[in-house]
Chain A
C-alpha cells in the first residue's frame, strides 16, 4: 500500500498568512494526488486535483504543486473560511490512501 504522510499535523495561523502543507508519498504517484478541505461536521470537499489543478469554484488563493513523491498545498492569504482540516489522497493505485490531515487553526 502507498503511505501518505502529511505535515504538519496542525498549524496555527492568522488571517492573511501564507500557509503551506506538505504531503509525501511512500512511492512515486506521478500527479495522482488530490487535496480536500473538511470543516467540522461536514463532508470533505475537493480543492486540488491532479496535484496542481484548482477545482471549479475554489478560490485562486489555493494552489498545489509537486509530482512523484513530494507535494504541497499552499494558501496564499488565509481567509476566515479557510480554517479547516486538509487531507491529501493518492489515486495512483488501490487501496486509495489519505494523509493524516492538517488542521489549520487560529
Chain B
C-alpha cells in the first residue's frame, strides 16, 4: 500500500525556518517525480514545487522560489522541503504527493495526510 507521511510542521515566527519531511512507503520512491503542495485555510490547492526522480529537474512556484528548497533521498525513501524566510502568507497545510507516471499524464495519484505550518508572531 502506497503511503506518504509528512512531518515537521508547526508554529514559526515570520522570517523563521522549517524543514518538512515526507516518508514514502509501498513503492519505489526513486521511480517517481514528487511534489509539494499547500492549501491555506478556506482556499484552493496550490502547487509549490516538484522534483524529478534523479533530482535533475526542479521546479518552483514564483512565490517560494529562492526561499524554499525541495530535495529527496531515494535511498531513505524521503522527500524534503526546506522553508526559509517564512511569511504569514505561507501558513497552510502542506501536502507531499506523488506524480503518476506514464499514461496518467502527471496526475497526482497519492497524497499525504498533510502537515500544518503556522506562521505567526
Q: A: which residues have CB within 8 A of B?
A: 31-32, 34, 36, 38, 42-46, 49-50, 53, 55, 87, 89, 91, 94-101
Contact = CB atoms under 8 A, between A and B. Distances in A.
A87 B44 contact: yes
Contact of B95 (A34, A43, A97): A43
A45 B99 CA distance: 13
A91 B62 contact: no
Contacts of A89: 45, 47, 107-108
Interface residues of B, number: 24
A49 B100 contact: yes
Interface stretch (B12-20, B72-80, B111-119): B111-119
Nearest to B106: A91
A40 to B, nearest CB: 11
B21 interface: no
Interface of B: 35, 44-47, 50, 59-62, 95, 99-100, 103-109, 111-114
Tell me the interface secondary structure of chain A in the complex: loop
A46 to B, nearest CB: 5
A34 B108 contact: yes
B111 A94 contact: no
Contact of A44 (B45, B60, B62, B104): B45
B50 A94 contact: yes
A49 B17 CA distance: 35
B112 A43 contact: yes
Contacts of B95: 43-44
A50 B47 contact: no
Contacts of B50: 94, 96
B114 A43 contact: yes
B45 A46 contact: no
A99 B44 CA distance: 7
B45 A87 contact: yes
A65 B114 CA distance: 30
B44 A45 contact: no
